[in-house]
Chains A and B, each alone.
Chain A
Amino acid sequence: MTLRARGLALGYGGRRIIEGLDLDLGEAPMTAILGPNGCGKSTLLRALGRLMAPEAGRVTLDGEDIRRLDTKALARRMAILPQSPVAPEGISVGDLVRRGRLPWRGMLSPWRAEDQRACAEAMAAVELSELAGLPLDELSGGQRQRAWIALVLAQATPLLLLDEPTTFLDLSHQLDLLGLLRARGRERGLTVVSVLHDLNLAARFCDVLVLLGPRGLVARGEPSEVLTPAHLAAAFGLSAEVHPDPVTGAPMVIPR
């Protein structure tokens, strides 16, 4: 699964946010898109997930332009979870997750054992199996976020695009979620591209970081190549030191 952007220009109504971006994703299991607020992280993710048409350039999945692919066929290969999705009032966790199976169902096909298995497995992965019957509105913010993750896991795609999946999660659930996604990458070849805010978590869990700044791409590559004082200054205007994390050895950003 390789997702490529070539000469990508993105913007809203004449205001260009990203210009001439080339990006190869999907060779590593976990990629994080990082950068300051308003630099176009979510916009880039939306363009990669064909939710937004680029003003120039194109995005290809295994060589095919995603805008030419059938949307349902694409939904079997790539799932995208936007930043704050909305759910119908009173929907239960189980009914929410079921809807992730949509791309795999025909117009008249019944609910199959395979669909049931995928949903049960997705809910187990985010530890919500016991809460399947509860309305989403009654869950905590973190549980709700995990229910949405279960929905895209139930979609069973090899590629997953997540927009700030760790928002609303406490630290231990952030670690659980990123750990779960990385384990899926190792065991089943799942490729995850997510927009993240926390640089240190990203460095710890992701193989590749894409750092955007106010004027487009600042750096991309392994965490140790990307998280340097010079790059951080260019992206965030931040004066920081980078030291190895004493637990994992991953680069750790410490603002001065």
Chain B
Amino acid sequence: MKAVLGAALALLLVTAASLALGVRPIGPSDYLDMMLAFDPTNADHVALATVRLPRVLGAIIAGGALGVAGAVLQGITRNPLADPGLLGINAGAAFALLAGGALLGDLDQTRVAMLTFPGAALAALTVFGLAGGLRGDTGPMRLTLAGAALNALLLSLVTGAVLLRRESLDMMRFWVAGSLAPAGSRPLAEMALAAAAGAILALAIAPRIEALSFGHALARGLGIRPGRTQGMALAAVALTTGAAVAVAGPIAFLGLMVPPLARRLVGHRLRMELVTAFLLGGATLLLCDTLGRLVLAPAEVRVGVMTAVIGGPVFIWIARGLRPGAQA
């Protein structure tokens, strides 16, 4: 319980810092002003309401959702390398968004953003199907390879499309690394709802996911239907990952880094882990975004680049810790 409170405190501190720090320093009194007496002609108020506040909310939604998605994936696969980015689920959602944007028009429409959910779900099913996870157990190796294959396939499709189209630089930028800069124009409320639905589903089936991590035989002995549980878990992953991609674009490594940290804090108790992963995921993404805004100010480093810079070494560290043939 202490660990959960600590994670919540961390999120609060990062939120306060992110709201206050920036090219233009803004104090708590300005926020109070903005909330109590919003003045549309005041440039500070407008900047807070349309840029900085949505950005903070977007980071918490996307980061929290990816933390939950990673914890669920690592739970059902018993694989510490399971991450929506590495498994190609981010790519599936982002691909659906780009394809929808190209076919239907504007990238930022709520309608187009909804395409991330079927995109993520389809990618998750594909990767699990390829890795044999629907029939039985997936080893870390097969699942990671299936994810790499799906990522490569979707990348080649996007590259092909980019080379054909004129406005392709935006597409490519969106594809390569997520960003929270346009958070103000994203459908934050809808995506917050979707992420919350995914998180609640994950919390509800958490004990069953725990049983599933013992393998199908023991799970069935404990009264679980493995297929149904996997299906619901993948639905939770699709909802959370889809929401994260619709808000911030594909963000790699966050779903990889956060759950092991949460487990270290609360042990192997999935409900507590999910709550902690949500809080830590939000705090981490927000911290990365705030640092990205500050390090090269007034230019900024995209948050997807920041998480990859931090996440790459963490990935290597986790992979090195795997014993040969480990079923983590």
Q: Which residues of A contact B (CB under 8 A)?
A: 46, 49-51, 71-76, 78-82, 85-92, 95-96, 98-100, 102-103, 105, 107-108, 152, 155, 161
Contact = CB atoms under 8 A, between A and B. Distances in A.
Closest 3 CB pairs of A and B: A75-B223, A89-B328, A72-B223
B214 to A, nearest CB: 5
16 contacts: A74-B223, A75-B221, A75-B223, A79-B221, A81-B221, A82-B221, A86-B327, A87-B213, A88-B75, A88-B328, A89-B80, A91-B268, A96-B268, A102-B210, A102-B224, A108-B204
Interface in B194-231: 204, 207-208, 210-211, 213-215, 217-218, 220-225
B221 A80 contact: yes
A99 B211 contact: yes
Contacts of B204: 107-108
Nearest to B327: A86
Nearest to B267: A95
A99 B222 contact: yes
B223 A95 contact: no
Given A75-B222, A85-B214, 20 more contacts: A46-B217, A50-B220, A51-B221, A71-B224, A71-B225, A75-B223, A80-B217, A80-B218, A80-B221, A81-B218, A85-B217, A87-B214, A88-B78, A88-B268, A89-B328, A95-B267, A99-B210, A102-B211, A103-B222, A105-B207
Contacts of B269: 95, 98
A183 B217 CA distance: 27
Nearest to B206: A107
Contacts of B211: 99, 102
B39 to A, nearest CB: 46
B302 interface: no
Contacts, number: 83
B263 interface: yes
A133 B46 CA distance: 53
A102 B267 contact: no
A133 B207 CA distance: 20
Between B204, B210, B220, the greatest number of chain A beta carbons within 10 A of the residue's beta carbon is seen for B220
B208 A86 contact: no
Nearest to A161: B221
Contacts of B263: 90
A91 B263 CA distance: 9
Most buried by A among B78, B214, B215: B214
B267 to A, nearest CB: 5
Nearest to A86: B327
Interface string B127-147: 000000000010000000000
B5 interface: no
A100 B263 CA distance: 20
Contacts of A98: 269
B208 A102 contact: yes
Contacts of A76: 223
Contacts of B328: 88-90
A95 B210 CA distance: 10
Contacts of A51: 217, 220-221
B326 interface: yes
Contacts of B214: 85-87, 99
A73 B224 CA distance: 11
Contacts of B213: 87-88
B222 A155 contact: yes
Nearest to B208: A102
A83 to B, nearest CB: 9
Nearest to B222: A102
A226 to B, nearest CB: 27
A85 B218 contact: yes
A155 to B, nearest CB: 7
Contact of A102 (B78, B217, B223, B225): B223
Nearest to A106: B207
A140 B263 CA distance: 23
B225 to A, nearest CB: 6
Contacts of A92: 267-268
Interface string B9-31: 00000000000000000000000
Contacts of A152: 221
A168 B271 CA distance: 33
B278 to A, nearest CB: 19
A98 B272 CA distance: 14
Q: Could you say which of A72, A85, A87, A88 has the most chain B C-beta atoms within 10 Å of its C-beta?
A: A88
Contacts of B222: 75, 79, 99-100, 102-103, 155
Interface in B109-141: 137
Nearest to A83: B217
A100 B75 CA distance: 17
